[in-house]
Amino acid sequence: MRIAMWSGPRNLSTAMMYAFGQRADCAVSDEPFYAAYLSATGIDHPMREAVLFAGETDPRRVAQACLSDVPDGRALWYQKHMAHHMVPDFPLDWMSHVKNVFLIRHPARVVASYARKREDVELSDLGFAEQVALYERLSSSGMAPTVIDSAAVRAAPEAALRALCERLGIRFDPAMLSWRAGGHAADGVWAAHWYGAVHRSTGFEGPEGPIPVLEGAYEALAMAAQPHYDRLAKVALTV
């Protein structure tokens, strides 16, 4: 089984990849479309040249690779994807051949976290609208994906992961609840810039505190993202 987890940045996405990476039956991949996204858009990201050098820039080849044999002969393949990486003209038909899950997080939390790593941020950098577009596309073809909120995972990791595994039709593995500090072999080259906190972790952190108070452009950005988050939050797994 191939599991495509769609999120935006700063959504607990790396920790979720680590959780699945602890399963003996699961291979994991980290943002396979990242280099293709940077190449197609020309956008300036931290470590841009390193990402382009390390990754495949042809989105058609990336899509084909996502449907190739599961690495190491394992039963499961967890693919961590960013929704905003799927820019116009990138192939999407391959999505009908994988189990799609959408990981969401409150916009104010995403904006506050992202701005600490990259101050210049626009709505298109965060994937909220793109998540909804992909969700609606799949739903309209009769393949309504699963949605899970990162807040639910942090509040009750075992219950949330059990619910997700049940929805996917796979067994829950207690190994998913913890990992060794220091990163994962599947980390993308960009981990050096983005993954500091999760590299220091050994499991999911507890529930988050109050919603951050934002000002100015950051507040406006979170407000613009809110309707997209609300759309998917309505159908998120109940844990």
Geometric angle at alpha carbon 177, from 171 and 182, rounded to 5°? 130
Q: How many CB atoms lie within 10 A of CB 14?
A: 26
The pLDDT value recorded for residue 118 is 74
> What does the pLDDT profile of the chain (239 residues) look like in tens digits?
999 999 999 889 999 999 999 999 999 999 999 999 999 999 998 899 999 999 999 999 999 999 999 999 999 999 999 999 999 999 999 999 999 999 999 999 999 988 887 778 889 889 999 999 999 999 998 888 999 999 999 999 999 999 999 999 999 999 999 999 999 999 999 998 889 888 999 999 999 899 999 999 999 999 999 999 999 999 999 87
What's the farthest any 2 CA atoms get from each other in the chain?
A: 50
- Cβ atoms within 10 Å, residue 176: 23
Residue 63, pLDDT score: 98
Fill in the DSSP letter of residue 237. Answer: P
Query: Rounded to an integer, what distance in angstroms lies between the CA atom of residue 77 and that of residue 222?
Result: 32
Give DSSP secondary structure letters for 146-157: EEEEHHHHHH-H
What number of helices (H) and strands (E) belong to the chain? 11, 5
pLDDT of res. 125 = 87
Query: What pLDDT, on a 0 to 100 scale, did the predictor assign at position 117?
Result: 75
CA pair distance 167, 190, nearest whole angstrom: 31
